[in-house]
Structure 1
């Protein structure tokens, strides 16, 4: 009886000792990813870009300049997509945090070079989610991430809302998640349809706060 009570007590003690934030990571140690872009440059190197959120710029904390950009775009390069991703830790002081990643934009050149490896690398990240929306683009994918959207703090969220509204209004091509794309590529037809993003307008640039302010003034 005594041995049994001792075993139960030991188990309870171990349970108590394991409680708590033993693996916690402080917010100031993370870079929150809102969107990801995949490109292949003219020299054949892969370029992975991330739209990173600046918490101070989107919070209501006093003392922070309202002219601060809400996001910035960070890129790494490598001979392969894996090496480009691995180089992130060599060039960024903070750990990339993917649970808030909203979309993955892939350039036409990168898709032609191998779509399955891109999805494979993405799914191997334990922080990544299969519900992330996938887009293609004819130009550089990084360029999509650089655009600021007037009246919206997080550009990736604004793009996703526009796509969702378009889908509700009868879009001919539904939005596709990473899971849906992989499911169709691995299905009997080995094919899928992915919507593309294209920048339209009269050549205006919305990759700076000055351009965004000008757009507000015109409105």
Structure 2
């Protein structure tokens, strides 16, 4: 069955567009399955492939200097030691596992994010208070270049300052960091916990949704998948 968006699919292009439209409206996999009449297993498979393509696209826009050693999926770093641990996003369970920590920064009117696997909770708490006692100088410098850092275990955003001399530019950056975290917090809360192996996919999806929030996301996704079709094989 020919489908220019999904190679090797046993699903019509019309049905796939319906699924993509529902995804762009930010419905859950269960809701999409119920509306489309496609099985939940199949929907989950398609959504994962869509998110992986979004990750590749977001990473292609990200400055090369910022991705060194930070992207768990793209660089092949394991999210967990082979286990499907759940990333806690509620404070009452934030000590179950090592939290996911990521940085946020703004460049050229876009917001970018990076997972920081070598940054600890104590480090971001120290630097947010202006303290210089950190585990490593290198990690400290990495943290300082972000406008904000989020500890998903505590579900908390730490503002680190943006180093702008222009007050208007500084306020714009702060607004975008807060706006992005607001969207991300709302989206991740509905999962009530994330698998560590998919946390990066959801983070980049939030980045994508925020950067294209003023556009028709469905058309943006159609153009992306027309250029870079999904492949079931």
TM-score (norm 1): 0.30
Q: Which has the higher contact order (CA 8 A, sep 6+)?
A: 2
Q: Which has the larger radius of gyration?
A: 1
